[in-house]
Amino acid sequence: MDLQILVGIFPQVLLDGVSLGFMYALIALGYTMVYGVLEFINFAHSEIFIAGAFVGVEILLGLKSAGVLEHLPWVVLLLLVLLAAMLVSGLLAVLIERVAYRPLRAAPRLIPLISAIGVSFFLQDLIRLFESIWRNAFNLVYPTIDPLTVRFEITSTIDVPLKTLVVIVAALVMLFALQFIVKRTKLGKAIRAVAEDQPTASLMGVNVNRIISITFLIGGAMGGAAGVLFGVQYGLINPYTGFIPGLKAFTAAVLGGIGNIPGAMVGGLVLGVLEAFAASYLSLLTGGAFGAEYKDIFAFSILIVILIFRPRGLLGEIVRERT
Amino acid sequence: MLELRDLHVYYGEIHALKGVSLSVSGGEIVALLGPNGAGKSTTVKTVSGLHAPRSGTIQLEGESLVGLPAHEIVNRGVAHVPEGRHIFNRLSVFENLEMGAYRRSDARIPDDLDRVFSLFPRLKERRAQVAGTLSGGEQQMLAIGRALMATPRVLLLDEPSMGLAPVLVEQIFETIADINRHGTTILLVEQNAAVALEVAHRGYVLETGSIVLAGTASDLIQNVDVRRAYLGE
Ligand SMILES: Nc1ncnc2c1ncn2[C@@H]1O[C@H](COP(=O)(O)OP(=O)(O)O)[C@@H](O)[C@H]1O
Ligand SMILES: [Mg+2]
């Protein structure tokens, strides 16, 4: 085993893990915000995420066939696609809550969960139906935005494509913006109040249903943005692509402490980095006995161990409550 | 000012209020007394919009409150300090008070904040603290202060003495009388009739969803039934 190789690829692997982790973090926010407010796991969030990826690919493909893709600056392109995906995914999340969850709010916990799983299947097949009619395609490939593939050489063995940096920066900006909204604005205070005690929040004059809709809007928008970044980074999407990243992001949210926004970021990063290291190092360290395909087993084993020792998640808080 | 007429409220099959009528005039403190499970909380929750009555009317200065969502009723000038306080544990003391002024955007908010801090200096000391870490008495102060931040015309207080040491109860009720002297009309729900009737002008006694007795505070104190049932004599 060559120590030099192990050390040499370390920064590259770390960078891959971090960018993957930020992607998980962005998706995890959707789970964690909704859970924070309703104590409900929105299983349809993986499809809200992938819907954003589809909005992005459709716009880019449209621009490409109109012949303008190459002529627009990449920043403009990316912002346009991100905003459109955030809008569509955000509104989709609001609509789902309105139609599939709100009527069930008084029902036992399990019932809206089943409804969410139903919505998830429904959306997968709706996207599939749409794409098969509209493009007669199942898999779609993000058109390359050439400037984003430019690689920055850090050392002779490490280089990063611009798109990876874009993913990291975009995710950081959104995470901090969200944290600011929740901690520092009146809207954020209302969200936290509703999360804690809905009837009492309404006694303060908070329109609880509106705050819940806004929570879905924000979580959905973050998911949509993650969808675009996923497409830009990995290229290939299909209607079922959302499932696995969704599940992992949910895990990241639990790992970080579900309901906790910085927790989603930490959980996402830990999971992303673990996964990247497992993918690159498992086979090197075991002399090829375990290949990269075991990365999930390795990453999730570590997660289980962490959760055994910290069942509330890494940043899950214990609030002392007196009555 | 506040007028409830023939209010019927159900929880599913349970008939919790069986035609409750009561009124609170401007400037009064009216006590709503009665044993556990009588329907006192249900009455104030129905006024503030947390429950919908099946029939009956609720009017605030002649305007009906029935059918309005809770978040609109605050706007009409009714603030509700719920039983068990229900402060926002994970928000700071200061943020809890800000939540009380949620529907306001006027320039008098800092003045009202000062007033709450002068009523409850403890809250000022602990303004940056997470509210869940306050003691029971401080939490009750916060719940009342938070409601005052809405500058209500009518304040609904649900069992402010619950779970507090006698000294604290005394202190809280002095403050309640003080708030009333500054012009706020109060409907005071209490199981602790003795303390409530000390500050109240009038009172009603509720039993299993019906008003069984009404009168001035001094009448009620004199009333043998009340003495026997609620003053432990
Ligand atoms: N959420 C609820 N669901 C069902 N029954 C309730 C509920 N809240 C109160 N009740 C019932 O309504 C009656 C009145 O309760 P409540 O208004 O809380 O009484 P009080 O405040 O006088 O102690 C009681 O019999 C109680 O069991
Ligand atoms: Mg009660």
Name the token pair of A172: 């950081």
Q: What is the reported pLDDT for A12?
A: 86
Query: Mean pLDDT across the stretch B20-42?
Result: 95
Domains recognised in chain B with CATH numbers: 2-230 (3.40.50.300)
The answer to whether the complex's ipTM is over 0.90 is yes
Q: Report the alpha-carbon distance of residue A243 to residue A27 in Å, rounded.
A: 11
Residue A47: how many CA atoms within 13 Å on its side-chain side?
21
Single-letter code of the amino acid located at A67: G
The closest residue, in CA terms, to atom 3 on ligand 1 is B11
Identify the DSSP state of B164.
-
- pLDDT at position A316, please? 77
Cβ pair A45, A246 in contact under 8 A = yes
- Residue from A234, A275, A232, A229 nearest A252 by CA: A275
pLDDT tens track of chain A, all 323 residues? 577 777 878 888 899 999 999 999 999 999 999 999 998 999 999 999 999 999 999 999 999 999 998 899 999 999 999 999 999 999 999 999 999 999 999 999 899 999 999 999 999 999 999 999 999 999 999 998 888 888 888 777 778 889 889 989 998 999 899 999 999 999 999 999 999 999 999 999 999 999 999 999 999 999 999 999 999 999 999 999 999 999 999 999 999 998 888 999 999 999 999 999 988 888 888 877 887 788 888 878 888 888 888 888 888 765 433 33
Strands (E), chain B: 2-11, 14-24, 29-33, 55-60, 63-64, 78-81, 154-158, 185-190, 202-207, 210-216
Q: What is the mean pLDDT of residues B197-213?
A: 94
Tell me the C-alpha distance between A4 and A1, whole Å. 9
Dihedral angle computed from the Cα positions of residues B94, B100, B102 and B103, in that order, rounded to the nearest 10 degrees? -150
- Residue B83 in 3-state DSSP? coil
Average pLDDT of the residues of chain B? 93
Contact B47, B78 (CB under 8 A): yes
B148 vs B8: CA distance, rounded Å: 29
d(CA B85, CA B82) in angstroms, rounded, equals 5
A4-13, B4-13, B53-62, B205-214: which has the minimum mean pLDDT? A4-13
At a CB cut-off of 8 Å and minimum separation 6, what does A248 contact? A24, A271, A275
Q: Ligand 1: which of B10, B11, B17, B81 to mutate, judged by most atoms within 8 Å of the beta carbon?
A: B11
Touching check for B148 and chain A: CB below 8 Å? no
* Rounded distance from Cα B8 to ligand 2 centre (Å): 17
B139–A322 C-beta distance less than 8 A: yes
Which pLDDT does position A321 carry in this prediction? Answer: 37
Closest Cα to atom 9 of ligand 1: B42
Q: Which residue of B has its CA nearest to A186?
A: B102
- For B215, phi then psi, to 5°, come to 170, -175
Q: Mutate which of B7, B13, B14, B212 to test ligand 1's pocket (most atoms within 8 Å of Cβ)?
A: B14
| pTM metric for this prediction | 0.92
The distance from CA A174 to its chain's CA centroid, rounded to whole angstroms, is: 11
Closest CA to A160 of A283, A24, A15, A17: A15
State in Å: Cα B10 to ligand 1 middle: 9
Sheet holding B29-33, edge to edge: B78-81, B154-158, B185-190, B29-33, B202-207, B210-216
- Give Cβ neighbours of residue A222 (< 8 Å, ≥ 6 apart): A26, A27, A29, A30, A86, A174, A178
CA distance readout (Å), B18 to B9, B25, B44, B208: 7, 23, 14, 8
Question: For B107, how many CA atoms within 13 A lie in the half-sphere containing its CB?
Answer: 0
